[in-house]
Structure 1
Amino acid sequence: MKKTLGPVSLTALGVGAVIGSGIFTVIGVAIGGNQMSAASLADSPVIDLILHHGAVAGRPGAGPALAVSLILVAIVCALTGLCYAELASMIPIAGSAYTYTYATLGELVAWIIGWDLILEYAFSNMSVSVGFAAHVVDLLDWLGLKISPKWLSPAYLPLGLQDLQGRDIYLPGWHGGFNIPAFLIVLLLTVVLVRGIKESAETNNIMVLVKIAAILVFIFFGISFIHPGNYVPFSPNGWSGVLAGGSIIFFTYIGFDSVSTASEECKDPQRDVPIGILATLVVCTILYIGVAMVLTGMVPWQSVAGDGAPVVNALKRVSLTPGGHRLHWVRLAVLLGAIVGMISSILVFQLGQARVWFAMSRDRLLPSAFSKVHPRFRTPAFATWVAGVLVAIPAGLFDVGTFAEMSNIGTLFAFVLVSMGVIVLRYKDPKRHRGFRVPFGPVIPVLSVLFCVLLMAGLPAKTWIRFFVWLVIGLVVYVFYSRKRSEFYAPEA
């Protein structure tokens, strides 16, 4: 590839990838938490089970202290991003973590990461789709169109559903409806991906500018409606809440890996990649902290718990108060920016998920149907359709918090393996050419592993259980199917 990218281009690429749906949707789940009426082992974060030797009442919210969570997440991403960059620079082709580990650490580790990436991409897009639907509901409300919430909200609502006055629309549990907008947007974009899409740099730049503009508009207009009393207490659940908030919001930052995977096209990867990663994280962290501080200053932090569209709903609440009428059009601008951002995020991650399946099938670890290319559109149509259906149906059933938890544990586990891979390869293959080398020896990879595990500990016990079940299923598939089809398989005599 041509070496044309410098630090500014890399930073623009990273900011465009990181600024997506999380800043408009998952931020509410991280701030408000998932408080239960009674203590439960399954719903308690693992770190609380270890430190408190018992269950707590659900996952605590970070409250206004989410700003601290965001700084922690940025540090972890910086450490992991440097490890990712070294691994990517060792492989002469562009690709995903699956591709890199297959070429450096072997088939079994690659299978585990590939299986993990399927989980990560799927649940990430389910989360984004539910957030998209929540913003569509707000847009319909802004236009004065009233549709039954039964068809605009997930079928399962762990915290129930309330109107802006705090009145119950649905009690916690199943309510027999279906989130139609979340379901339809995934299927619509699946059709687009099957037919083929070539996103130009100009289009991507426009989307990035729209998303950033929506964020800045919210911060600029919302700052005058901040009530300092909403910041007290600043950290209502202490370090437990800060850690849980960081664990939930983590996946919204994973776009930074686009910087490391572009190392092959850098003019000076040793200098430009660290600058691009760190500049991306600094810019995005400032924007995220700005939104978090304005949001928790405008409305009480508890009010955004379980909200799929906390930013625009905060604008709506404030617009109903004296002097808030001027936020009516601000709310529309932020709504449109958020919707554009989420459509682009769903499109990119659905594309990525299908390509992981395609790569694993090409290596004969999944059935050959997943690597078949459509004769007319020249896209992996079967893999794309399967990915679309498997994301669309759950998106209609469950809430954003459930999806965010599963996506985050998958992402953090993949980053643990990538960081460990750097350490292993330093000893296993020290003379291999590295376009970029993580500084300070094994210190940064080790810190990356430790911080990722710490953030994983902020997730509920039931999320860990579901994740281990997923990994066990994957290993069973590998042992009884994939391993025997692999080109490296040698049957015993």
Structure 2
Amino acid sequence: MSSHGSEPRLRRQLSLLDAVSVGLGAIIGAGIFVVIGLAAGLAGPAVILSVIISGVSATFTALSFCELGASIPRAGGVYEYGHTLIHPLVGFVMGWMWVSGNIILGATASLSFGFYLASAFPWVDPKLGAVLLILSVTLVNVLGAKLSAGVNNVIVAGKVLALMVFVLVGIFGINPSHFQNFMPRGFLPVLTAAGLFYFAYIGFPRISTMAEEIVNPEENIPKAILLALYISMALYVSTAVVAVGLVGYESLASSTAPIATAAERLGVKPLVEAGALLATFSVTLTSVMGQSRVFFAMARNREVPYKLASVPERLGTPVYSILLSGALMLTLALSMDISGLASLTSFSVLFTHVLTNIAAIRLRAAGRPRKSYSLRGVPVHAYLGAFLSLVLSLSLGLATVMAGLLNMALAVAWYYSYKLLTGSRRHHLATTEPA
């Protein structure tokens, strides 16, 4: 690892509000606007309970991120935790898997934005909408973290407002009969739906990738992670209650836009569709933001080309890492059927959550300062977070697990090949320099 004295650094300029907004921008997206319908089809009216269970499960891992973010406030998030506390190779694989999952997630969100845009303006090609979005968020990210956070703050406020209006207006139209036969298929499908809906919460770690740019990180990172998670959870639960109460779980399950279907009953469908556009915009924006910081951290440790760690003084952002993130996302959005890769996103992120919890367990042995979320000195949250993340990742099916393992093998191959190549190059330069 390079010494911290001369390495590239990022500016601390993001407030607690900015950090919370990054988390909300990453969390509130397709999960509530689309996945809630799939979960309702499994759990029935008890989808409300599924949303609560998945939120509680996410909290265990969130507490580990709080400890790690406060103890190691450096750019890169999961990559830096694995690199510092487990092994550089493990950290690299964690970073690789996290970036892979988030590139797919961002590309999916950009295409969702294109489809929502095309539904409002039929003459717009969905892929053109996705391209314009990716180019826009890449430019905003290049121009500065504070600008990106400011744009994200406005967008997050808009999509949160849209959901709040839906809840406040819809609560008066709830039909209690829609909650009868609360668990039509029993409790096991409720747990399955909780596992599915868990992925609506997985954006909160994106706060940790921005750790080097957050003011007073020891205090603000834990606060931001928990605030973003609990605000999202409150919105998700209240939205689920109102949606089921308005149209019944069967209507939600049969709709590709379940919240819009429920909002149509209230006459506020355009507002919810606008909220969905804002949600996919902010997910794509924060996806580029997070990916680029992991590339930056990898480059700073010379595990990918060092140019990616370049931070122009005038902009204060890792420009080349941002451009690479945008280019990869754009290529994926234009060239592949991303819908088939959604489960790979989930596996990739859950895999990093398993190892992040292991890193949190190792914090005490490493003698680093930590927040006290332990129970009688034992980090129970980290053990539970690791176990639940492992169970959920393995529940995604053999094909997804095999694809995830193949992606991990590619990460290991890159790590050793790049180390060998750059090591040989440095040795060659050292032996050919004139005395």
Q: Could you tell me the TM-score, scaled by structure 2's length? A: 0.79
Inter-CA distance 383–416: structure 2 relative to 1 (3 Å threshold):
same
Partner of 1:241: 189
Paired with 2:333 and 2:254, the residues of 1 have a C-alpha distance of: 15
Distance change >3 Å, CA 337–CA 365, structure 1 → 2: same
Do the aligned partners of 1:61 and 1:245 also contact (CA within 8 Å) in 2? yes
Number of the residue aligned with 2:400:
463
Does the C-alpha gap of structure 1 residues 311 and 455 become closer, same or farther in structure 2, counting only changes over 3 Å? Answer: same
Contact kept? 1:259, 1:276, Cα under 8 Å: yes
CA 1:445–1:303: 2 relative to 1, 3 Å: same
1:336-485 superposed matches below 5 A: 336-372=274-310, 379-396=317-334, 402-427=340-365, 429=366, 432-440=367-375, 441-482=378-419, 485=422
Alignment partners' CA distance in 2, 1:356 and 1:278? 22
Q: 1:20–1:195: structure 2 CA closer, same or farther, 3 Å change rule?
A: closer
Give me the whole-angstrom Cα distance separating, in 2, the residues matched to 1:365 and 1:352. Answer: 18
Deviation at 1:450, TM superposition (A): 1.1
| Alignment check: 8 A CA contact 2:103 2:325 kept | yes
Match of 2:385, as an amino acid?
Answer: S
CA contact (8 A) 2:12 2:215 kept: yes
Structure 1 segment 34-53 matched on structure 2, within 5 A: none
Deviations 1:152-190 (A, max 9, x none): 3xxxxxxxxxxxxxxxxxxxxxxxxxx332233113322
> Partner of 1:123: helix, strand, or coil?
helix
Residue of 221, 224, 231 corresponding to 2:169: 221
Q: How far did 1:413 drift?
A: 1.3
Return the offset for 1:247: 3.3
Select the residue among 22, 25, 30 that pairs with 2:35. Answer: 30
Q: Which AA in structure 2 matches 1:61?
A: L
Quick one: which of 82, 90, 104 aligns to 1:109?
90
Q: CA deviation at 1:125?
A: 0.8
Kindly state the Cα deviation for residue 213 of structure 1 after the two structures are TM-superposed. Answer: 1.2
Partner letter of residue 70 of structure 1? V
User: Alignment length, in residue pairs?
Assistant: 413
In the aligned structure 2, how far is the partner of 1:127 from the partner of 1:398? 10
1:221 CA drift (Å): 2.3
Paired position in structure 1 for 2:4: none
The secondary structure found in structure 2 opposite 1:256 is coil
On the 8 A contact 1:3/1:267 being kept in 2, the answer is no
2:24·2:156 contact (CA, 8 Å) conserved in 1?
Answer: yes
Matched, 1:90 2:71: yes
Q: Is the 8 A contact 1:20 1:345 kept in 2?
A: yes
Deviations 1:108-163 (A, max 9, x none): 111111111211221221232233223213432xxxxx448xx43xxxxxxxxxxx
Question: Which letter maps to 2:57?
Answer: V
The answer to which of 283-292 and 12-21 deviates more is 12-21
Matching residue of 1:210: 158
| Change in CA separation of 1:476 and 1:391 when aligned onto 2, cut-off 3 Å | same
Cα distance in structure 1, aligned partners of 2:162 and 2:308 = 38
How far residue 68 of structure 1 moved from its aligned partner, in angstroms, is 2.0
Contact 1:25 1:309 in 2 (8 A): no
- In 2: Cα distance, 1:367 partner to 1:2 partner: 22
TM-score normalised per structure 1? 0.71
Which one-letter code corresponds to 1:467 in the other structure? G
1:192 and 1:471 mapped to 2: Cα distance? 31
Note closer, same or farther for the CA distance 1:26–1:275 as it changes in structure 2 (3 Å cut): closer
Whether the 8 Å CA contact 2:142–2:317 is kept in 1: the answer is: yes
| Matched residue SS, 1:61 | helix
Q: Is it true that 1:281 corresponds to 2:219 in the alignment?
A: no
**1:311 and 2:249 are equivalent in the alignment:** no
Cα 1:259–1:477 shift into 2, 3 Å: closer
Cα pair 2:29 2:200 within 8 Å, conserved: no
Matched, 1:190 2:149: no
| Aligned AA (2:371) | F
Please report how far the alpha carbon of residue 84 of structure 1 lies from its aligned counterpart in structure 2 after TM superposition: 1.8
After superposition, the C-alpha distances for 1:342-384 in whole angstroms (9 at most, x for unaligned) are 3233112112212212221232212345345579866544433
Superposed displacement of residue 296, structure 1: 2.9
- More strand by percentage: 1
Residue 78 of structure 1 pairs with residue 15 of structure 2 = no
Shift of 1:233: 4.8
Quote the offset at 1:475 in angstroms.
1.4
Q: CA deviation at 1:287?
A: 0.9
Structure 1 residues 485 and 413: alpha-carbon distance in aligned structure 2, compared to 1, 3 A threshold: same
Relative to 1, partners in 2 of residues 1:2 and 1:205: Cα closer, same or farther, differing over 3 Å? same
**Conserved? CA contact 1:350–1:387, under 8 Å:** yes
Q: Specify the alignment match of 1:51 in structure 2.
A: none
Provide the aligned C-alpha RMSD in A.
3.9
In structure 1, distance between residues paired with 2:11 and 2:336: 44
Q: Could you tell me how far apart the structure 2 residues matched to 1:235 and 1:483 are?
A: 57
Tell me the percent identity.
29
What code does the residue aligned with 1:336 have?
A: A
Aligned-residue offset at 1:421: 1.3
Q: Output the CA distance in 2 between the equivalents of 1:108 and 1:268.
A: 26
Offset of residue 474 of structure 1: 1.2
- Pairwise CA distance, 1:463: 2.2
The alpha-carbon distance between structure 1 residues 280 and 438, as it changes in their structure 2 partners (threshold 3 A), is same
**Alpha-carbon offset, residue 290 of structure 1:** 1.2
Match of 2:81 in 1: 100
How far, CA to CA, are the matches of 1:380 and 1:306 in structure 2? 43
Change (3 A) 1:228 1:123: farther
Distance 1:247 1:126, change over 3 A: farther
Q: Which amino acid aligns with 1:285?
A: M
Letter in 1 for 2:412: L
